[in-house]
């Protein structure tokens, strides 16, 4: 973080509250800087001590790599879910997955205890981008690429336009960016065109990228990345 910064921006950077919520807390006199009640728009220095009075647990946002075979929610007997894996391996119990990724798929899941982001992030009309690295069972044709980009008929529904880019060194592999998220959508799109998916990895949601994470690894979403994410989904 770069100092000095306005108090609402500081609280947003540290995951305590959105900027709007921070302004409300300051207006109610619930924020102190170095023991004194903060004023609206007050600047925070790196050496300052900031206290939020009566504020419940801080909001947390994590980017997590769900491996293949791991269940997102509600595991059956003998299955392993994300919450169980995080609790066992890292002692993390305060966040939950936002959205789903099917058992045979892998990649990015956003985890949070901020209930405000669930509806806006998963809203199919909001057009938030989700990018996937996909490998199918045979070389993709130009017709396949055009069809995936323009929309595919799946069970009476035509998918929205998408962005697709073939891998330069693997003619069975491509990156697909969609703005909706119907159940098993990419698998159904490929199947409708005569292709079967071999691997499916989500590599980005909105501005949050999987990056160098490996299966069962996570990182915090914070600072500018968090602000950009919250602003994009309309809860900043």
Least confident of 171-175, 210-214, 222-226: 222-226
pLDDT in tens, 24-66: 999 999 999 999 999 999 999 988 888 888 765 678 999 999 9
pTM as predicted: 0.78
Are 178 and 165 members of one domain? yes
Are 136 and 229 members of one domain? no
* Contact by Cβ (8 Å): 156, 217: no
Tell me the three state secondary structure of residue 55: coil
pLDDT band for position 69 (50/70/90)? very high
Are 119 and 226 members of one domain? yes
pLDDT in tens, 5-34: 999 988 877 767 778 888 999 999 999 999
Are 193 and 214 members of one domain? no
Are 137 and 193 members of one domain? yes
Domain with 221 in it: 61-123+208-233
Are 201 and 212 members of one domain? no
Are 201 and 136 members of one domain? yes
Q: What is the CATH number of the domain that holds 33?
A: 3.10.290.10
**Cβ-based neighbour number of residue 194 at 10 Å:** 11
pLDDT at 56: 59
- 143-170 average pLDDT score: 96
Are 92 and 146 members of one domain? no
Are 143 and 42 members of one domain? no
Q: What is the CATH number of the domain that holds 102?
A: 3.30.70.580
Are 75 and 28 members of one domain? no
Calculate Rg over the CA atoms of the chain. Answer: 21
Provide the domain count of the chain: 3
Residues involved in catalysis: 102
Are 96 and 163 members of one domain? no
Give CA–CA dist 60/50, Å, rounded: 18
> Following DSSP, what letter does each residue of 77-134 receive, concatenated?
TT--BHHHHHHHHH---S-EEES---TT-EEEEEEES-GGGHHHHH-TTS---EEEEE
- Hey, which residues does 134 pair with through a beta bridge? 174, 200
Are 25 and 136 members of one domain? no
Sign of the C-alpha dihedral, residues 115, 117, 123, 129?
negative
- 154-170 average pLDDT score: 95
Nearest of 145, 148, 152 to residue 162 by alpha carbon: 148
């Amino acid at each position: 973080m770069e100092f000095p910064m306005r108090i609402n921006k500081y609280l947003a950077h540290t995951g305590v509250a959105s900027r709007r919520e921070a302004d409300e807390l300051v207006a109610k006199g619930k924020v102190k800087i170095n023991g004194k009640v903060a004023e609206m728009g007050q600047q925070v220095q790196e050496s300052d001590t900031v206290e939020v009075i009566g504020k419940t647990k801080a909001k947390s946002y994590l980017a997590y790599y769900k491996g293949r075979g791991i269940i997102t929610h509600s595991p059956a007997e003998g299955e392993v879910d994300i919450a169980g894996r995080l609790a066992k391996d890292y002692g993390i119990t305060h966040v939950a997955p936002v959205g789903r990724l099917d058992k045979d798929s892998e990649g990015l899941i956003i985890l949070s205890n901020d209930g405000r982001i669930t509806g806006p992030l998963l809203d199919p009309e909001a057009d938030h981008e989700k990018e996937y690295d996909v490998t199918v069972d045979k070389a993709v044709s130009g017709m396949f690429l055009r069809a995936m980009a323009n929309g595919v008929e799946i069970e009476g529904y035509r998918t929205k336009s998408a962005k697709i880019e073939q891998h330069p060194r693997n003619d069975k592999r491509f990156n697909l960016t969609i703005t909706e998220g119907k159940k098993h959508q990419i698998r159904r799109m490929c199947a409708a065109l005569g292709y079967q998916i071999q691997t499916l990895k989500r590599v980005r949601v909105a501005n949050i990228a999987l990056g160098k994470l490996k299966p069962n690894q996570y990182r915090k979403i914070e600072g500018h990345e968090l602000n950009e994410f919250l602003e994009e989904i309309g809860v900043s």
